[in-house]
Structure 1
């Protein structure tokens, strides 16, 4: 299902390693919202809260023993460290979002993911057991895929484009996409049409069998 993607090759279609075959139509392409991706997948607020907590703890333990200015100066380095950590997370989130292209067609979901190690995941609708939508008040949301069969994906390779904490059976996900409810509805209609389309296989005629 996953296919290696050559960073130095020119993509014939952005987000896809090759042109879609005849009969396949691209319905939507997009990227994660970088701010939502940073906030949710990198736990930005928790990291900030952690360093603010360290600052408060240090300040409270010192304020009874030293002057206010001294206690503040001794505690302030935690705020600086927190700002550096937050800036790094913002950069990582932005780079991850910009390196990602999600594609929905009438036959599959394709995910070109990875900033350092770029891979493309092809998820045909016939191999998706279920898709779950986690919708936020802002309208952004995550669509996670529960795959059929024994196909296993690496959680670390796919991160952050996965359902959080589903490590034993990794669920690839379209993370933090804008207008997620509309995209999920469009994908559901395409998947239903694809799965319900009769698959016609050509059988050899009796004359051909006899000739063989």
Structure 2
């Protein structure tokens, strides 16, 4: 038996209730996650500067040590990114978003669509992107519980994030349609940068 073999439906903690259907499932791309969530390019640049400084200072040993440290650090980060990609499943149904996350301690986080005030799409190269979810009302989610599936620096107003998604524009439109379907007789065209749901008595979330 391997981890997650007990799941009745992949990425979900239990069988779907009557009337609920899976609209989309996906996971982070580890290469994009490494670059955008773990800031591998910044880390590479930092060690490159250290190595350059060592060379200019006449310390070949220091430069070599910086290169070795860079290789080890980036290797560890890449390994973590691969594990995140393998253990994470994002699910959108017609009623909720489910984040099955956690490398060491796995957990499933249910986010009912009616709690999503809005969602912000941040695009990356080649059609990849992140979708940050602005939640309305109290939700009890902590930054440490969600990391790295949380919007950076939003410590007090935590925003769950679907990270490093392929075809992010299509996922954002699907999410917009699912949220709008909860509000009959109201039509709203999804925008490129955001996915908004008309207000239904819930306080609208802001970035």
**TM-score, normalized by length of structure 2?**
0.84
Correspondence for 1:46 among 32, 42, 45:
42
DSSP-derived class of the 1:170 partner = coil
Query: How many residues are matched?
Result: 183
Correspondence for 1:139 among 102, 112, 127:
127
Correspondence for 2:111 among 123, 127, 137:
123
Correspondence for 1:24 among 2, 9, 20:
20
Once the two structures are superposed, residues 125-160 of structure 1 have per-residue CA deviations (whole angstroms, 9 ceiling, x without a partner) of: 111111111111311111111111122311112111
1:153 aligns with 2:141: yes
Distance 2:29 2:79 in 1: 13
Once the two structures are superposed, residues 154-191 of structure 1 have per-residue CA deviations (whole angstroms, 9 ceiling, x without a partner) of: 11121111111111111001111100000110111011
Unaligned residue ranges in structure 1 (runs of 5+):
1-6, 63-70, 198-212
1:111 aligns with 2:99: yes
Write out the 4+ residue segments of structure 1 that deviate beyond 6 Å after TM superposition.
none
The structure carrying a bigger helix percent of its residues is 1
Instruction: Show the counterpart of 1:101.
Output: 89
Distance 2:103 2:55 in 1: 39
Unaligned residue ranges in structure 2 (runs of 5+):
186-207
**TM-score, normalized by length of structure 1?**
0.82
Alignment RMSD (CA, Å): 1.4
Distance 1:192 1:74 in 2: 58
- The within-5 A match list for 1:178-197 is 178-196=166-184
